[in-house]
Amino acid sequence: MAKKVQKKMLRITLVKSAIGYSEKHKGTLKALGFKRMSQTVEHEDNAAIRGMLRKVNHLVKVEEQE
């Protein structure tokens, strides 16, 4: 029987508004699932999500979960 590997999760909170930033930044936030300020979303930790977070790291707060 195979062991279940629990994947790491990221809890991401939008802490700063995207008003005044480029459309690429706004699109990245929308792709992450944000609709309003102080909203928190959870995503699986993978390279694609890390790349998005690197692009908007000045707008979000990231917490790692196990």
Write out pLDDT tens, residues 5-57. Answer: 778 999 999 999 999 999 999 999 999 999 999 999 999 999 999 999 999 99
Query: What's the pLDDT score for residue 56?
Result: 97
Number of neighbouring beta carbons within 10 Å of residue 20: 6
Distance of CA 38 to the CA centre of its chain: 12
Residue 53: CATH number of its domain: 3.30.1390.20
Q: For the chain, how many structural domains are there in total?
A: 1
Q: Is residue 49 part of a domain?
A: yes
3 within some domain = no
3-class DSSP state of 12:
strand
Residue 1 predicted with pLDDT over 70: no
**Comparison of pLDDT for 61 and 3, the residue scoring more:** 61
Q: What is the pLDDT of residue 5?
A: 73
Does residue 15 sit within a domain?
yes
Which residues form the domain of 36? Answer: 9-65
